[in-house]
Structure 1
Amino acid sequence: MSRKRVLLMYAGIAAIALVLFVAIVNWTCSESDAELELLQLQQQQAATWRRQEADHLSARSGPCQCPPVDVALNGALECPPVPALGLAHGLQGGAAAGSLPQIEGIQLAPVRHLTSRLDNKDADVVLFHAEKHPAQRRTGAKLIMGIPTVRRPKAIYVTETLDALLSRATPNELNQMVFVLFLADKDPALLEELWTTVHTAYSQHIASGLIECVVSKSGAYRPWPSPMRRTFGDPEDRVMWRSKENYDYSLLMEYCKGRADYYMQLEDDILASRNYFKGIVQTVELAKDFQPPWSMLEFTRLGSYAKLFRDSELLEIAAFLRYLWLEQPTDWMMFNFVAVKMQNNRIFSRNALFQHIGKQSSLEGKRQDLVDHTFNENGDPGGIDGRPGDEVVSDRSSFRKNPPAEVVTNIIYRGHYSPRAFYNNERPMLAWLRKSQWIEVWFDTPQRLRRVLVRSGHPTRPTDVLVGGQLSALYEGESNYVTITTGATEIDAKNFDTTKAVQVLRLTVTEDHHYQTCFEQIEVVPV
């Protein structure tokens, strides 16, 4: 090739490179301009939102009209309560909705969790048959208990629940409590039927203000999205059932705000122990100096009932449940809320003060046979299990070193109590389990195995065990997993094909778990 042709070829390449360089610069600039415009738009929207929210707040609250000094000295020591919006006020076109910006097409009402007191006039829940209730509702109580109830297809438990709550507290203790029964059915005929049952049995307590029966206002619930967001692979009816429970709890909490020092979330199918009020007060006293301060105390290891919250944080948990209602079951939402509040551990009374008695779930076709084996009939809380900053301590020096492997999972676990640390036998794994979730161990080098042992539970958490699991193996060169064994609490697998090397071990959860599970030890023994 002549020198002239070589020079021409290089010149052509340089020209092409220059054209490409100019095109890339222009494209990058246009992208940067677009990103800048988007950022400016977002900042303008945020500024507009802040300005509108400030205008809205100033229009509603204004300066506090505290009583003059001479009036205060005669007993009027408190400022008038600041009015507050219900959490969902505006979601259905309320007066405040027009002044708020839209996010993804949903109107979000501001959450008035900064107010120390609420008059509840704008709550989305109201008294049912208000004429049967006293004109003045009880305030200044020590404890208010929220109990949502719906009609089950084949059973009714709410009268058993109320009978136990009323009969297992002293008259003096009942004077420090309020029971709010939320009739959460959507069918007006069912509401009337349930009201008749409750009023017939407890008319005296309703008239005195000890029991309140409430229902939601029209338009209190947000419409179901379409298509439905389905998490955890749950069918649509289960997603709707658990999401409505989140919303029910949120509405009930909002209604109860400002009425007592503490709020306890109950369900309509529980049995209270004797002296339960005394046990709750004792546990609160034991936890008073915890740092960081507790946000939720639990009086059972099951589900989302018997959970105690401070009144000062009640609208925060209500908003958390309301705005993320479709994401997770209520108990998981509660666990995540307290984690956000820096309560790193769940905090239980050592003995449960409330027992689950309902077998027929409000979800048609679902049975619930769970019981809390720590339940103490006499109401002795037995102290506290868990506190902020607690470690699950055990002597792990005798635990064997497992073969090198990568550990992957789709399970939600707590902090540094991770699957990796569990497999390495550095510390337990603490997790909230749902059916069909799994942990997989991918060996760096395939292993011929003689035995695999998985132990759950811990001396300080004897009930936090695996309810049901299946251990499977994927042998090297094969495409299908082989079930090795199934079990609960402890899985001890010994029937491996020792002529084949295992590439992957998989532990699959076969039952829903309604409380935290502690995986204490895993032992992988090669041939």
Structure 2
Amino acid sequence: MAKMTSHVMTLTPSRKRWFIVLLMILLLCIILNFSYTPDIHDESILQSNIVEIQMKLEHLHSKYITSQEEIQFLTYKLVKMTEGIHLQPDIQIFINSSSYNITNIKLPSIYNFLPHLLNNPNSLHPAFIHSKGRSGVSIVLGIPTVKREIQSYLIATLRNLLSRMNPLETADTLIVVFIAEIDIEYVTYVAKQIELQFPEEFECGVIDIISPHPSYYPDFTKLQDTLGDNHQRVIWRSKQNLDFAFLMSYAQTKGIFYVQLEDDILAKQNFIATMKSFALQKVSMKENWLVLDFCQLGFIGKMFKCVDLPIFVQFFLMFYNDKPVDWLMDHLIFTKVCSLDMDFKRCRMAKTELWLHYKPSLFQHVGTHSSLKGKIQKLKDKQFGKIILHYGHKNPEAIIESQIKSYKQFTLSKAYRGDTFFWGLLPQVGDHLRFKFIHPIYLKRYLFRSGNAEHPCDKFYNTTVEVLPELANSIDRNRNNVSEDGYIIIGKFDHAGIAQGIVDQKLGKILVLRLNVHSESENWAILSEIHIEEDANS
């Protein structure tokens, strides 16, 4: 006991703090196990809480290891800087008592695989970072995004993810958006768009935004062409591997579990709670998993323990030029459990012990245009289920007119009946969508939803909702909300592509409701929901 006490007393202040934290958590585990006798109803909840504490302990231990590595490195630097210099006694005692041996071998580091990083000390520092410092969460969602020539899905993806969480899930989650571009002007623009669209989440720390320093990337023109791919494709997948490694490295200390996503996906309701419950269940069952798979496609919906991320980061960096990231992940797990003399079937079974699949899938890929120029990506996860692309309603009888040409069978008349959605080609200034009611009616409320899950950017932009009252001649044409042809503006489409509101009964009966486009659009336009409600009491 005296010997143990002696060792504790010689701990540095940093080590003492970590020792106390670990000791407190261990005592809490003992108290939970022995001081409380749960009934059958509470047993599963208690077990889940214990497992969560154990995972947090692993996370803290990982941070402790990292801090010790930093202490050893700084101690080594101090020793080298102070050689031959007379030091104060307390500093000399610290150096003499340090466990760091300057004759130790030096293990390979990231610089061995990416030597160009040595050219700039800022290579591993984000060029742009917005963070409120949120950490210690259960789940970190990593979303890499790049500039797409045709269509960006990022905002729609973030909106979908946040809408699928309840307040408790949101409070226990961190979303890290990694803008994998070196054009700082573009990065700042995207960050500003996120702030405008999600001001509350941006301000309270739910969303972190980072981008890499330009010197993080090697000279891509010098990459070796592999797998028979053309050079453009080799650059694309090699950069992806480096992007995933950067994002994982940033996320490692932020939470217990890390989930890799993409910027063009949909999620199911309460996906956070589902993933966390499944992960803790597998840990409590002593299943030593490396990957939990919540989507059958590519590198989407893959969950890792944050303490395991360094293994994947190192592997991706070692072979970033050689193969795509999902292949590398498969190879890493193969290396862990499969021997050279093992047949394919046995190897596959062994891999399923480390790579567990959850069904049905929680995520679906919706993007069509890949970040690789010219590549069309139509992969869908069949286990996700059917995606709702339109919402049908019974609307008042009306004559339908549209100046926007419809695409194939997706006409405005069918959308008004609730059979499908309206899909129109490139709205122009002055284009109208008119709903002329068979008989003048009192309107109660309206809802127009543009865009859908597969085409989130095909929305109505700068478009107003206008009505023509039966008594239009009595309307003051000089009012700000009255158009030149006598229509009264009652609403407009917001940033989310939705226009909704209640109609003032003082307007009387309405002859026509129309959508009026005020600017040219770079996208086609979809109306996935049309709901015009008549006031039966008027």
TM-score by length of 2: 0.48
Identify, as 1 or 2, the structure richer in helix: 2
